[in-house]
Amino acid sequence: MDANEMESQQQKAAGEDDFRHSSTAGLNKFTLLCALLASTNSILLGYDIGVMSGAVLFIKENLKITSVQVEILVGSLNVLSLVGSLASGKTSDYIGRRYTIVLAAATFLVGALLMGFAPSFPLLLAGRIVAGIGVGYSLMIAPLYTAEISPAMKRGFLTSFPEVFIVSGILLGYIVNFSLSGLPQNINWRLMLGLAAVPAIAIGIGVTAMPESPRWLVMKGRTDEAKRVLIKVSDTVQEAEFRLSEITKAAAMDLGEATSSNHSDWRGQGVWKELLLNPSKPVCRIIIAAIGINFFMQASGNDAVIYYCPEVFKDAGIQDKRQLFGVNVIMGVAKATFVLISAVYLDRFGRRPMLLLGSIGMAVSLAVLGMGSKFLQHSETKPLWAIIVCIIAVCADVSFFSIGLGPITWVYSSEIFPLRLRAQGTGLAISVNRLVSGVMSMTFLTISEKITFGGMFFVLSGIMVVATLFFYYFLPETKNKSLEEVWALFEDKDRTGDDQRGTQMREM
């Protein structure tokens, strides 16, 4: 390499740094608006989790269903959401990220209306199934779209918004439970579930104001449109042109020179074969990391603990339904507070430190909750201090989840796949997330009846110990790296060289 070439590369690197650091001074308002609109879709899942935890108590009494039917009802949404997650990758590659978000909201709307007007258990279950497909679409597409429009220095903050809205939805569901619990039994749960149609309508309308993902537009060969979007989400025209240049280069390398001249014909074909049948070593590492973090997110039992928290504290000695819902509200406030803290500091401290902090904290919290539950199980008096310890332990568990696994799973899943594999790879990882969530939700009560709630919490604590080891050894840090640059982290076997390789591979 001659002196002129070296000088040219140094100038290029300096220019990249200027663009990177310019994004740390502030946040483009249009980018923030787009991230908020896309992530609002996630409030639908949060609302369902929160409101179902209370509504199921009234549904069980009103429709006279068994505990097994309760588990099927609760878990069906999560299991069927894997259908939406699997389909969302191909759909978003075909029709685009923006219209996939609209499709997610519309599907959930139909499910919410079915649930609200369901006269029987089979129709209620049908509504849950339809809503679950919509949830699967929204869980994949919201962080993916946000990651593709965000600057590297702010991507962690913006891509954690889906979890912020999930938690906000959970808290909203708890508040609705508390507010409507005094109504007649045949009306309150229908209102609780049917009200989910309101945010679904608002989201479907609001999302139409969003632009398409510039990276999807480049993959389709619509470079002029991508440039117009990048100008809106960048601070300067020069920055937009720079980002467009790097995205275009990455697309050409990723899709292959043979197809780069006719990107409009590309609709995601061949991706499943590359992901599952003939993956390269870097793709294998990415799949392991993406599926692993999604598996442990739900194997932690967080969704099940939230769904069945009233059952847990009912067993602990709290019988009044309004008091049970009050505990839920406290837990919801704790989750909302810590997920906001995580979002603010995620780009400063990085993914790995906060993920490890959260998983270690969950392991300890679940162990304490297990001991408290065991004590209450063998205590006839159910002392108040023991109940308070369990409440604090539950709040600590969901708070540490909100610091680590909650937001970081969506961030990490959406940023580690290369451009061509991103949508369908993310969809695959999140489908595992939904499958494990469904299995946990549909077996939590049954297993707890066999080994008690205390025993179940000890098992979950052990799972989080294993999760901590997995995160430490298999998940490299992606903080402050562009989506195109993250690929280099998984190309290197020697993780100690990540930073040096990343510097050489900036924006590919």
- What is the average pLDDT value for the chain, to the nearest integer? 81
The string of pLDDT tens digits covering residues 292-308 is: 999 999 999 887 777 77
| Structure token pair of residue 188 | 């309150």
- 173-187, 325-339, 428-442: range with highest mean pLDDT: 428-442
Q: Cα angle vertex 244, ends 256, 347, to 5°? A: 105
Residue 356 pLDDT level (bands cut at 50, 70, 90): very high
- Considering only CA atoms, which of 134, 112, 136 is closest in space to residue 124? 112
**Can you give the pLDDT at residue 118?**
87
Assigned domain for 322 exists: yes
**Can you give the pLDDT at residue 3?**
46
What average pLDDT does range 188-211 have in this prediction?
A: 83
What average pLDDT does range 286-291 have in this prediction?
A: 94
Q: Above pLDDT 70, what percent of the chain?
A: 86
Residue of higher predicted confidence among 53 and 299: 299
| Number of neighbouring beta carbons within 10 Å of residue 350 | 16
Assigned domain for 10 exists: no
**Can you give the pLDDT at residue 502?**
41
**Can you give the pLDDT at residue 254?**
66
pLDDT over 60 at 497, yes or no = no
Q: Cα angle vertex 273, ends 270, 279, to 5°? A: 120
- Considering only CA atoms, which of 36, 4, 330 is closest in space to residue 164? 36
pLDDT over 50 at 261, yes or no = no
Report how many domains make up the chain: 1
The string of pLDDT tens digits covering residues 86-118 is: 888 888 888 888 889 889 888 988 998 898 888
Three-class SS state of 458: helix
Assigned domain for 4 exists: no
Dist. CA 396–CA 16, nearest whole Å: 41
The string of pLDDT tens digits covering residues 444-489 is: 888 888 998 889 999 999 999 999 999 999 999 988 887 878 877 8
- Considering only CA atoms, which of 467, 12, 30 is closest in space to residue 242? 12
One-character DSSP codes across 113-136:
HHHHH--SHHHHHHHHHHHHHHHH
Assigned domain for 199 exists: yes
Assigned domain for 7 exists: no
The string of pLDDT tens digits covering residues 317-339 is: 666 667 777 777 788 788 888 98
| DSSP H helical ranges for 160-264 | 161-180, 185-194, 197-206, 214-219, 223-233, 237-255, 257-260
The distance between the two most distant Cα atoms of the chain, rounded to a whole number of Å, is 82
Residue of higher predicted confidence among 233 and 10: 233
The string of pLDDT tens digits covering residues 377-387 is: 777 777 888 88
Dist. CA 502–CA 158, nearest whole Å: 22
Assigned domain for 2 exists: no
Assigned domain for 17 exists: no
Q: Which of 14-23, 283-292, 337-346, 458-467 has the lowest mean pLDDT?
A: 14-23
**Can you give the pLDDT at residue 297?**
94
Assigned domain for 1 exists: no
What average pLDDT does range 224-239 have in this prediction?
A: 89
Enclosing domain of residue 232: 26-504
Q: What is the domain-level CATH number for residue 162?
A: 1.20.1250.20
- 26-40, 280-294, 423-437: range with highest mean pLDDT: 280-294
The string of pLDDT tens digits covering residues 121-165 is: 899 999 989 988 988 898 888 888 988 888 878 888 888 888 888
Phi, psi of 358 (to 5 degrees): -65, -45
